Amino acid sequence: MTPFANEPLLELRRAEVRERALAALGDLDARLPLRVPISIGGERIDAAPFPSLDPSDPERIVAVAEGATPEHVEVAVARAAAGGAAWAARGAAERAGVLRAAAAILRERRLELAALAVRECAKPWPEADADVCEAIDFLEYYARGAVALEVGPELLQLPGERNRMTYAPRGVVAVIAPWNFPLAIAAGMTVAALATGNAVVLKPAEQAPACAAAVVDALHAAGVPGDALALLPGGDVPGRALAAHPGVHAIAFTGSNAVGLEILAAAARPAPGQRHLKRVVAEMGGKNCILVDADADLDEAVPAIVKSAFGFAGQKCSAASRVLVHEDVADALLERLAGAVETLRVGPADDFATDVPPVIDAESRERVERYVALGAEQGTVAARAEGTAGGYYAAPAVVTDLPPDSPLITEEIFGPVVVVERVASMEEACAAATASGFALTAGLFSRSPATVDAVARALTVGNLYVNREITGAMVGRQPFGGNGLSGTGAKAGGPDYLLQFVDARVVTENTVRHGLVV
C-alpha cells in the first residue's frame, strides 16, 4: 500500500471546476427525492417514511427515508452478531482492500456526493467537498491503520516464555452519526469499526439519511457483507434502542452533550444477561475560544475568526464561539470584526457567492434567534449581517459586553454567533476558557514563543490552533477529538483511534519442557 496522503480538494477557484460542480448538482436535482430504505442483512426494507429537506429551501424534499423501529434494531443487531464473525475472519489486509475499494467508489462519485451534502445539509461547496474528501481519507487511513495494528506490539521475551499481544474486534458496534459532517463522520466511525473487524449498525442523523446511505451503498458495493453493516434511518427512537441494546459492544457517537451523557450513563449499567461492558466513544459539544493577545496580527486574526465562527454557519464541533481578546487591542479587533461580519452574505448553500448558509432546521434557527435576543438584552450586539428569507436562515452575530455567567458564554449555541470578551492577560483568558469544562478546540493569536508555550500548557483542549483558523482538522495531520466535557478523548483521524474498537488479548506460553527451554 502506498503511504497515506490526504485526498486533494477540488480546486474551486477555477471557474471550470465550479461549472462541473454545478452540473453535478443539476444531475442530482433531477433525481430528487432519493429513496433511503432500511438496510439489514443486505435487504432493503420499507417502514414509516419521513422526509429529509433542503435547509436552503425546505420546499425541496431531498430524500424520503424509512424510519426504523426498535424491532428493526433487534433484527439488525442479531444479524450483525451472527454475520460479523465472517467479516472478522477475513483478516485486516483483505478488509483493507474492501475499504479502499469503497474509497475508490466515493472518489468516482465525489461531485455527486458533494452536491448531496450541499442539498441535504446546506453545506457550502468548499465544505461539502471537504466532507467527501475526509470520508475518503478515513477509509484510506483506517484501512492502513488496521493492517498495522494486526501485527500487534512487540513485548519483552524472556527465555522459557513466548508472549504475544493481539487485538480482537469487540463485536457489534453501534454508530450514531451527526448531520454536520454527514459523509465524513458517518464514514469515519463506521469504517474504524469495520477495519478492525467489527460489525456495524449505523443510525445516521434524522436530517441526513441520504448522505449516510451513500456511504453505506459504497461500502456494500465494494464488498462489505450486508450482515456486517446495517443502516437504520430515523430519529431518537431507533437511536435509543440501539444504544441500549445488550448485544451492542461499543457505541461510537458524535452529537450533543445531552445525548452523549445519556448514552454514557446508560452504557455504564449492563442489561440483564449482558456479558460485557460497553465502551463508548463520544465526541460531544464545545465552547471553543480564540485567544487574541496584544501582539497578534489582526490582519490574520480577523479573517480567521470569521472563518472559524461563521463557516458552515458555526455548525461545526470545532467552531469558534468565544473570542478572548487582550484589552489593549480589543477595540481595534471588535471594530474590524464587526465590519467584517457585516460584509458576510447569507444565502443558499449551492451559491458559490454565499458566505453563510442556513442552519440545519427551524428549531436551530429559533435557538440562534433566542440567544441573539438574550445577547441584546444582556449586552450589545456589535454586528449582525443581513439575513434573508426562504430557508432556515440565521444571520451571523457578534455579541459583546456580556456578564460572565451569560448563557451565551456558558452554553453551546451551535450557530453563527460569536461572543467577544476582554481580558487583561492571556492567563486570565486561559482561566476563562477552561472554566466551562468544555475542551474541544481553541485558537491563539500571538507572536511570542513564550506565550504560545504557556497557553499550550494551560489549556486542556484536544486541539489547539496557533495563528490560524480553528476548524478544518485533516486526517493524519490534526487528529481530532475533545477532552473534559467535550468527549472521551479518542482522536479521530489519529494513530490511536482504532484502539477504541478492539480488545487487547495477551497469550503467554511456557516453552519449558522437562526443565529445558525448547
Partner 1 sequence: MAALATPAPPSEAPADPPDVRAVGRELVRAMPRLSRSPAAVAERRMMATLMERPELRAALFRFVDVRPACRTRADVARHLAELLAEADPEGAARLAGGLASSRAGRLPVALAASAAVRHTATRFIVGEDPAGALREIERLWRRGVATSVDLLGEATVTEAEADAYAARCQEALRTLTAAAATWPARPKLERDAAGAIPRVNLSVKVSALTPLLRPYAPERGIAGARARLREILRAARELGAHVHVDVESLDTRDSVVGLTTSLLSEPEFADGPSAGIVLQAYLVDSPRHLDELLAWNAAQGRTTPLTIRLVKGAYWDHEVVEARRNGWAPPVFTERAECDRNFEALSRRLIDESPRVRAAIASHNVRSIAHAAAYADARGRDVELQILRGLGDDVQDALAATGRRVRCYCPVGDLVAGMAYLVRRLLENTSNDSFLGARAMGEDLDSLLEAP
Q: Which of 1, 14, 61, 506 binds partner 1 (CB under 8 A)?
A: 14
Distance CA 426, CA 451 (A): 8
Q: Which of 125, 253, 497, 501 binds partner 1 (CB under 8 A)?
A: 125
Q: What are phi and psi of 251, to 5 degrees?
A: -125, 125
Instruction: Report strand pairing: 441-445 vs 463-466.
Output: parallel
| Residue 131 in the binding site for partner 1 (CB under 8 A) | no
| Residue 235 in the binding site for partner 1 (CB under 8 A) | no
Distance CA 75, CA 228 (A): 13
Query: Residues touching partner 1: how many (CB under 8 A)?
Result: 42
Q: Are 316 and 415 in contact (CB under 8 A)?
A: no
Whichever of 236 and 295 has its CB closer to partner 1, that residue is 295
| Residue 31 in the binding site for partner 1 (CB under 8 A) | no
Determine which one of 7, 120, 140, 283 is catalytic. 283
Determine which one of 317, 421, 430, 469 is catalytic. 317
The amino acid present at 311, given as its one-letter code, is G
Burial state string for 445-464 with b = 16 or more CB within 10 A and e = fewer than 16: bbeeeebbebbeeebbbbbb
| Residue 330 in the binding site for partner 1 (CB under 8 A) | no
CB of 366 to partner 1, least distance (A): 29
Instruction: Give residues 436-455 in contact with partner 1 (rule: CB under 8 A).
Output: 447-450
Q: Is 386 a catalytic residue?
A: no
| Residue 18 in the binding site for partner 1 (CB under 8 A) | yes
CB of 383 to partner 1, least distance (A): 10
| Strand intervals (E) in 355-482 | 380-384, 397-400, 417-423, 438-439, 441-445, 463-466
Work out the end-to-end distance of the chain between its first and last CA atoms, rounded to an integer number of angstroms. Answer: 37
Q: Which of 97, 126, 235, 489 binds partner 1 (CB under 8 A)?
A: 126
Instruction: Give residues 279-308 in contact with partner 1 (rule: CB under 8 A).
Output: 294-299, 302-303, 306
Instruction: Give residues 353-382 in contact with partner 1 (rule: CB under 8 A).
Output: 353, 355
CB of 137 to partner 1, least distance (A): 10
| Residue 6 in the binding site for partner 1 (CB under 8 A) | yes
CB of 293 to partner 1, least distance (A): 9
Q: Is 283 a catalytic residue?
A: yes
Tell me the three cell numbers of residue 304. Answer: 480567521
Distance CA 253, CA 248 (A): 13
Burial state string for 270-299 with b = 16 or more CB within 10 A and e = fewer than 16: eeeeeeeebbbbbbbbbbbbbbbbeebebe
Residues contacting residue 217 through CB under 8 Å, at least 6 positions apart: none
CB of 403 to partner 1, least distance (A): 28
Binding footprint of partner 1 on the chain (CB under 8 A): 5-18, 125-126, 294-299, 302-303, 306, 328, 335-336, 338-340, 342-343, 345, 351-353, 355, 447-450
- Residues marked as catalytic: 283, 317
